[in-house]
Structure 1
Amino acid sequence: MNSVEFESYHSPLKDFYQGKIVLLTGGTGFLGKLYIEKLIRCGVSEILLLSRNKNGKTSTERLASILSSEPIFTTYQDDPEFYHRRIKIIDGDVSKHQLAISNDDMSYIVNNANVFLHAAADVRFDESLKESVETNVRGTSEIMKIAANTKALDVFIYVSTAFSNCIRDTIEERFYKPAFDPYQIIKLVEQENDEESFQVVSKKIIEPWPNTYAFTKSLAEDIVRQYYEKIPTAVIRPSIVTTTNSDPIPGWTDNIYGYNGVVVGAATGALRIFHINNDNRAEIVPADIVVNSTLAVGWYAANHRDEINIINCTVADNLVNWATVRNVQMKWKAKIPFLNTLWIPTYNTTKYYYVSEVLKIFYHVIPAIFFDLALKFNSQKPRVMKLYRKVHKFSEVLSFFTNNEWDFRNEHYHKVMAHMTADDHRYFPCDVKQIDWVEFLANNLKGLRMYVMKEKWDNLEQARSKYRKKWMAHQVLLVFCYATVLFVVYKLLQAVGITEVVEEVFTMSGTLGQ
């Protein structure tokens, strides 16, 4: 929907955010950029963007780079100053005590902020427990303290994950008691001195959670629970967040985390075998569905303070399995191929772990050896085996989520949807029933090609030509491999005298047939 359409109808949800001052954490991340875009379209008075200097750039420079380079800010070039007037940088760091916010900025927040949108998180599955706790748990504690003292607060919104309670088969829209007191874990981390020993202990602490991310998000939710009676609070739990469905543009993303990484890996011919149960539900949810659901539950919570406002933002109402996802996207491999690929997409799957480990040798390791030898022969640095080490590590951390299923209950999500008017739904499309999976999966592939791989549409014919050549080479290679295997098998059988017996049987069969 363009800005003119967005302004032309009445929406109570949009009206709620209009004129508000919003404190946003995680605004420079994937979802954060979409929150900025949508909040500005809602007409907020000001976004207080918690940000820090990074990679030699100041917070202001980082913001300017994001606004000018990301295509989701569709009207930025028309009036850059409009965006900069709406965004106030708050220098800080969510992993530090008191978020490292200056006294002047803290005073401004406490006296003026109406909405807290806490989206910052360390989303890396392989992060150390110490760093995950500092950002995800202590950071949430610090921002809750600030929110509790804010004078004009309408609502505090916490962006969690549907997998914060992934050790359960059924996950309801309510708080769950975590395995540990979050404040005790914070204290333990702060007192940690021996990093190597603590790493060993950490593995025991997080069991049976699959990684530090899911574990620390469960602890963070408990901190939010301890405040929800004091301040109006909303929690959204999205599942595997992927590219946008339509709002503000289809197929947009800025990363290859999670499911996006699988698609890019398969499309570039790098990921050729993946451990996944294709019969399981694919818990992928478009990013714009998450963003619009977040703003919807925040609005609802501000007006229904007596309820526990938690929603599971999943695709439980519009299920699709991994087999369908694979089959739909593989149909596009020759039509919209990536230009820069290792090989043609030959994405194979198995639900059996040990089978996948054996097939990795044939599909990944052996080809990597030959690719690296070819690179060395051409006086280039071998890098394919190194790539596959990353691919295997990436596959391992995802396998828990691709080989398990959960029953995500969504009664409260339905209640929030029911309170939205027709114009609310028009402005904030967040009904997962409206997702056309065939169209979405096509746009997902196109978006990853365009926004992650940075491949423009004017090189599509070049990519198709390159694909056809590699496809022919692939067929020749298959013939050679199968012929070699058959020849080796024949020689082995001949060595043990079986071929003579087989030949004699066929001769006798021919004689009897006459």
Structure 2
Amino acid sequence: MADQLPPINSLFAGRSIFLTGGTGFVGKVVIEKFLRDVPEINKIFVLVRGAKGKTAAQRWAKISQSVLFKRVRTECPQMLAKVVPVEGDITLDHLGLSEENLKAVLEHTSVVLHCAATVRFNEELRTAIDLNVRGVDRIIKLCKRMPKLECFLHCSTCYVNTDKIGEIEEKLYDAACDPYKLIDAHTWMSDELLEGISETIKKKYYNTYTFTKHIAEELVRRECADVPTLIFRPAVIAGIWKDGIPGWVDAFQGMTANALGFGMGTIPRMPTDPKHLVDAVPVDAVSNMMIACAAYRLHLTAKRDRSMPVFHCASSMLNPLTVGDYRDLCGSFLTTYPLEKILLSPTLGTRGTPELEDAVFAFKQHVIGPVLDAVSGLYGKKPQWASSFGKAREAFQILIPFNSKPWVYKTQGMLELLEMMQPADRQKFEFDVRKLNWTEFISDVLFGMKTFLCRNDIFSDAKLDEARNQVKNTQALEFAASILIPYLLSVLVTRDLKSWKVALPIGFALYYYFHCGQFTQVPVGSIASYRERIRSKI
């Protein structure tokens, strides 16, 4: 990657794009960026499933009216006409496209960006194979029928190689199994057999998502030798950094998924080594680098280069954020600016062990939850505690394995790509993660979670004061419970009302373990600054 990359807009000029996953978190940001900063594209065909009685066109119309597209509607509304929603589904042959849409997509597409996948980590293996492996197979078959195809970008994930340890290179590693045999097995194996395989998979790949994405890369390797291909692997994707609405996010996934658990008090600890790294990247950096990578692939195609580059979009090598730093930032933020709705007091720690924490979750789910639901029922409230603790336990079990290894994702490709880009494009398509200020960015991500996902009134001081008072009251109740529960258990065991002499030290020890000294208070972003920066953008 020594030569200079032509201007990105010129590389896409007159070309049409076919995008899958366009209704997802990353896909929306990619579309918005194309419309704002790549004005010479011809069309963007966006694969959209009809859902809840709405057509693809109706779903896209609603998305285009969302706050994310406000700048497009204001600054370049004519660009919205370049988006062509086509109804289809990656689980169907020919993607379920109508004859008319299939003809248009095949005839006009020069660039395919494949972002669609199931992102549910605990998806049943059969469904995960159909979406993440067979779905890729269907896309590749379509690509091979496109006479104008100059770029097929397969969006994968950094976590396809969770069986490795240490530095992960930007290359294709040997696959765990033959993708064709897995697809074949998916067609005849019973659910019971497939789920048995799932348990073996989880020992190395932790879940069906990372495993099927791993196998999908091997399928791309085997099928795309004659297709101009690039594999793009982002790390954990968080909210917007600087190219749009600070902290904007539209789904509880990645960083916001665990932050919600911390903020609501349902996942108070993630036992791990605080020196391990959290590899997070802003969604606008992911979008910008994806577009730049596609432009680079177009550049290679013009040079008749049939290589298959692999790029990591990650921060662990260039701007590392430790688990300890992330813990302190999240803990400090969520106690300074607590959520308006919590179940338990917000906190975040790394002490303990996964086994101990899982046992605590089980106790909450099967003992504390039913008791609290019974008490709530006396006041006419619907049961929620046991169910909430059960969901929190499931989320904990999904997330905890990713804290177990000190991965570092090499990003030499990112640096070389930045070096190749025109100076103006480096500013317009910003993805240099070395410039990330973690305190400011994590604060914006959490402000965005409060604003766009939790629907908290970010502009109301009164609501913030209420939330802080709720935290104080909850902490008082938790302190009382920490003392009372050991005392009641000791009375049941000893049948002696004076057993408080034993129960009291145990209660204080439990309260300290669960609530005290879990993180170090550090400075976080200002809510006044965040209000000022988003006021005109939403």
Retained in 2: the 8 A contact 1:155–1:298?
Answer: yes
Distance in structure 1 (CA, Å) of the matches to 2:75 and 2:431: 28
SS at match of 1:24: strand
Distance in structure 1 (CA, Å) of the matches to 2:319 and 2:114: 28
Distance in structure 2 (CA, Å) of the matches to 1:350 and 1:366: 23
Partner of 1:438: 439
Partner of 1:503: none
Retained in 2: the 8 A contact 1:339–1:459?
Answer: no
Within the alignment, does 1:388 sit opposite 2:389 as a pair? yes
Within the alignment, does 1:311 sit opposite 2:311 as a pair? yes
Distance in structure 1 (CA, Å) of the matches to 2:363 and 2:260: 20
Partner of 2:34: 39
Partner of 1:463: 464
Kindly tell me: are residues 408 and 476 of structure 1, through their superposed partners in 2, closer, same or farther at Cα, counting changes over 3 Å?
Answer: closer
Partner of 2:170: 173
Retained in 1: the 8 A contact 2:137–2:219?
Answer: yes
Within the alignment, does 1:288 sit opposite 2:268 as a pair? no
Retained in 2: the 8 A contact 1:278–1:322?
Answer: yes
Within the alignment, does 1:123 sit opposite 2:122 as a pair? no
Distance in structure 2 (CA, Å) of the matches to 1:361 and 1:215: 27
The one-letter code matched in structure 2 to 1:45 is N
Q: After superposition, what is the alpha-carbon deviation per residue over 1:216-256, rounded to whole angstroms, capped at 9, x for unaligned? A: 11111112212443122111111111212122221011111
Shift of 1:21: 0.7
Kindly tell me: are residues 339 and 493 of structure 1, through their superposed partners in 2, closer, same or farther at Cα, counting changes over 3 Å?
Answer: closer
Partner of 2:411: 410
Tell me the TM-score normalised to structure 1 length.
0.87
SS at match of 1:158: strand
Distance in structure 2 (CA, Å) of the matches to 1:76 and 1:474: 45
Distance in structure 1 (CA, Å) of the matches to 2:418 and 2:44: 26
Q: After superposition, what is the alpha-carbon deviation per residue over 1:273-315, rounded to whole angstroms, capped at 9, x for unaligned? A: 3334322101222111111111111111222334431111111
Shift of 1:332: 2.1
SS at match of 2:19: strand
Once the two structures are superposed, the pairs formed by residues 235-250 of structure 1 within 5 Å of their partners are: 235-250=231-246
Partner of 1:104: 100
Shift of 1:363: 6.8
Shift of 1:173: 1.0
Q: After superposition, what is the alpha-carbon deviation per residue over 1:102-140, rounded to whole angstroms, capped at 9, x for unaligned? A: 232222222211110000011111111111111111111
SS at match of 1:278: coil
Partner of 2:65: 68
Distance in structure 2 (CA, Å) of the matches to 1:426 and 1:256: 29
Distance in structure 2 (CA, Å) of the matches to 1:198 and 1:481: 43
The one-letter code matched in structure 1 to 2:226 is K
Q: After superposition, what is the alpha-carbon deviation per residue over 1:143-162, rounded to whole angstroms, capped at 9, x for unaligned? A: 11221221112211110000
Retained in 1: the 8 A contact 2:362–2:393?
Answer: no
Residue correspondences, number: 484
Distance in structure 2 (CA, Å) of the matches to 1:143 and 1:473: 51
Distance in structure 1 (CA, Å) of the matches to 2:350 and 2:215: 34
Shift of 1:324: 0.6
The one-letter code matched in structure 1 to 2:62 is S
Kindly tell me: are residues 198 and 475 of structure 1, through their superposed partners in 2, closer, same or farther at Cα, counting changes over 3 Å?
Answer: closer
Distance in structure 2 (CA, Å) of the matches to 1:127 and 1:362: 25
Percent sequence identity is 25
Kindly tell me: are residues 288 and 11 of structure 1, through their superposed partners in 2, closer, same or farther at Cα, counting changes over 3 Å?
Answer: farther
The one-letter code matched in structure 1 to 2:396 is S
Shift of 1:268: 2.1
The one-letter code matched in structure 2 to 1:13 is I
Residue among 113, 133, 140 paired with 2:136: 140
Unpaired runs of at least 5, structure 1: 1-9, 496-514
Distance in structure 2 (CA, Å) of the matches to 1:166 and 1:476: 41
SS at match of 1:396: helix
Once the two structures are superposed, the pairs formed by residues 251-400 of structure 1 within 5 Å of their partners are: 251-304=247-300, 305-315=305-315, 316-350=317-351, 352-360=353-361, 368-400=369-401
Retained in 2: the 8 A contact 1:164–1:218?
Answer: yes
Q: After superposition, what is the alpha-carbon deviation per residue over 1:448-490, rounded to whole angstroms, capped at 9, x for unaligned? A: 0011112222334223233224314523652674488699699
Of 279-288 and 113-122, deviating more is 279-288
Distance in structure 2 (CA, Å) of the matches to 1:207 and 1:484: 36
SS at match of 2:333: coil
The one-letter code matched in structure 2 to 1:138 is R
Once the two structures are superposed, the pairs formed by residues 52-91 of structure 1 within 5 Å of their partners are: 52-69=49-66, 71-78=67-74, 82-91=78-87
Kindly tell me: are residues 362 and 324 of structure 1, through their superposed partners in 2, closer, same or farther at Cα, counting changes over 3 Å?
Answer: farther
Shift of 1:213: 0.9
Q: After superposition, what is the alpha-carbon deviation per residue over 1:360-400, rounded to whole angstroms, capped at 9, x for unaligned? A: 36777665345323321211221111011011001101111
Kindly tell me: are residues 339 and 288 of structure 1, through their superposed partners in 2, closer, same or farther at Cα, counting changes over 3 Å?
Answer: same
Q: CA RMSD in A?
A: 2.6
Within the alignment, does 1:149 sit opposite 2:145 as a pair? yes
Retained in 1: the 8 A contact 2:346–2:471?
Answer: no
Partner of 1:4: none
The one-letter code matched in structure 2 to 1:437 is W
Shift of 1:494: 7.1
Shift of 1:202: 4.0
Greater Rg over alpha carbons, structure: 1
Q: After superposition, what is the alpha-carbon deviation per residue over 1:374-432, rounded to whole angstroms, capped at 9, x for unaligned? A: 32121122111101101100110111112222132222222112111221111111011
Of 339-348 and 46-55, deviating more is 339-348
Kindly tell me: are residues 99 and 84 of structure 1, through their superposed partners in 2, closer, same or farther at Cα, counting changes over 3 Å?
Answer: same
Shift of 1:61: 1.3
Shift of 1:47: 0.7
Distance in structure 1 (CA, Å) of the matches to 2:448 and 2:314: 21
The one-letter code matched in structure 1 to 2:122 is D
Partner of 2:46: 49
Of 452-461 and 479-488, deviating more is 479-488
Distance in structure 2 (CA, Å) of the matches to 1:142 and 1:104: 18
Q: After superposition, what is the alpha-carbon deviation per residue over 1:41-96, rounded to whole angstroms, capped at 9, x for unaligned? A: 11222110111111222111111111112x22123544896354111122211111
Partner of 1:509: none
The one-letter code matched in structure 2 to 1:23 is F
Unpaired runs of at least 5, structure 2: 492-496, 503-538
Partner of 1:498: none
Residue among 13, 24, 49 paired with 1:29: 24
SS at match of 1:125: coil
Retained in 2: the 8 A contact 1:11–1:423?
Answer: no
Residue among 197, 207, 210 paired with 1:211: 207
Q: After superposition, what is the alpha-carbon deviation per residue over 1:424-448, rounded to whole angstroms, capped at 9, x for unaligned? A: 1111110110110000011011000
Distance in structure 2 (CA, Å) of the matches to 1:110 and 1:52: 19
Distance in structure 1 (CA, Å) of the matches to 2:355 and 2:181: 39
Partner of 1:13: 8
Distance in structure 2 (CA, Å) of the matches to 1:181 and 1:481: 53
Distance in structure 2 (CA, Å) of the matches to 1:480 and 1:163: 40
